[in-house]
Amino acid sequence: MALTKKKIVLRIVIGIAIFLALAVFVNFIPLFSLKTAGMKQFSGSWINVYYETEEAAARDVFEYADGETAAIAEKLGFTEKQDINVYIYDNQSTMQTKKYGLIAPLLGLDWYIGDNIGTNVILTSPANPGKVHDYDNNKYAVLHEIVHAYVSVINSRVELWLTEGMALYLSNGEPFNRDILNSSYIPTFEQTCTGNPIEFSNCGGYIFAHTYIEYLEKTYGWEKVLELIKSQNYEDCFGKSKRAVYDEWVEFLLNY
C-alpha cells in the first residue's frame, strides 16, 4: 500500500514537472523568432530595420538611427557595418513578448518600450507608443538600444553598469549637475556591480552611470574606456582595483 502511494505521489510530481516545462516552453515561443509574419525591411549603412505595418514611423526611426549610428560606431572603434538589426513592432505587447514571452502583458511593464537582445534591438513603434511614452520617446530610444547592440559586439558579457553607462553617455543621458546630489544618493559600490536591471534603475543608475564613463574618459582617455569594455579588467587597464576607480569616481562627482 505504501509503495502504491509513493507511485501516485511520484506520478503527480512528474505530471507537475511536465506541465511546468510545457508552460515555460509555450511562454517563450515568441522568442524563437524576432520577426513576425510579413515584416518588411529597410537596409542602411549601419543598421537594418524590420517593421510590421507602421511604415511611416519605421522609416522615421530608420533614417534617424542610421544617420546617428555612424558617429557612435566610429566612437566605438568600428569602421564598417555590423550585424545590427532593429525590429519595430506595431504594439507594445508584441515587443514585450519578444523578451519575456507570452506572460509579458501580465507584468505591468507600461514603461517598457524597447530593449536589446545581443546585437538585435526590439522597439515599440512610435506610432503606438503605449500609455507612458509619446512618439519622440520611442523614436529616440532606439539609439540607446543600438549603443547596447554595438557594445555587445565588443563584449557580449559586458557588465550592466558599463553597458548602460555607455548607452547613456553616447545617446540620451541627461546632463549632470552637482545639484542632483541634493536629491539623489550616489549608488554604492555594490549597487554599481548589480546585474539586475530593476536594482540598477532603483539605485539611480540612469542618473549616474553615464558620469562614470565621463569620468573614465576624462581621466584615462577613450582608448582605455574601450579597453575596459572589452576586458573588464581594471588592474590591467588602470593599474588599480575596481573599488579604487569607484572611489575616484565618487570624488569626481562630489567636486563636479
Query: In this predicted model, what pLDDT tens digit does every residue of 154-213 receive, in sequence order?
Result: 999 999 999 999 999 999 788 888 889 999 999 999 999 999 988 998 999 999 999 999
Q: What is the pLDDT of residue 89?
A: 96
Q: What is the pLDDT of residue 28?
A: 67
pLDDT digits (tens, 9 = 90+) for 211-221: 999 999 999 99
CA-based nearest residue to 61, from 145, 132, 1:
145
* 12 pLDDT above the threshold of 90: no
Which set of grid coordinates corresponds to residue 77? 572603434
CA angle 202, 205, 210 (to 5 degrees): 165
Half-sphere exposure of 239 (CA within 13 A, CB side): 1
Contacts of 29 (CB under 8 A, 6+ apart): 101, 102
Q: What is the pLDDT of residue 47?
A: 95
- Residue burial 22-58, b: 16+ Cβ < 10 Å; e: rest: eeeeeeeebeeebeeeebeebebebbbbbbbebeebb
CA-based nearest residue to 167, from 151, 189, 187:
151
* 1 pLDDT above the threshold of 60: no
* CA 109 from centre of chain: 15
pLDDT digits (tens, 9 = 90+) for 33-53: 799 999 999 999 999 999 999
pLDDT digits (tens, 9 = 90+) for 51-87: 999 999 999 999 999 999 999 999 999 999 999 999 9
Quick check: 163 and 152 in contact, CB under 8 A?
A: yes
Alpha carbon distance 58, 52 (integer Å): 9
* 2 pLDDT above the threshold of 60: no
Residue 5 pLDDT grade (very low, low, confident, very high; cuts 50, 70, 90): confident
* 236 pLDDT above the threshold of 80: yes
Q: Which amino acid is at 161?
A: W
Phi, psi dihedrals of residue 22, rounded to the nearest 5°: -65, -40
Q: What is the pLDDT of residue 30?
A: 72
Q: Which domains occur in the chain, in start order?
A: 37-154 (3.40.30.160), 160-254 (no CATH)
Alpha carbon distance 237, 229 (integer Å): 10
What global pTM score does this model have?
0.85
Of residues 12 and 248, the one with the higher pLDDT is 248
* 19 pLDDT above the threshold of 80: no
CA angle 116, 124, 20 (to 5 degrees): 65
Of residues 19 and 55, the one with the higher pLDDT is 55
Q: What is the pLDDT of residue 3?
A: 59
pLDDT digits (tens, 9 = 90+) for 123-168: 999 999 989 999 999 999 999 999 999 999 999 999 999 999 999 9
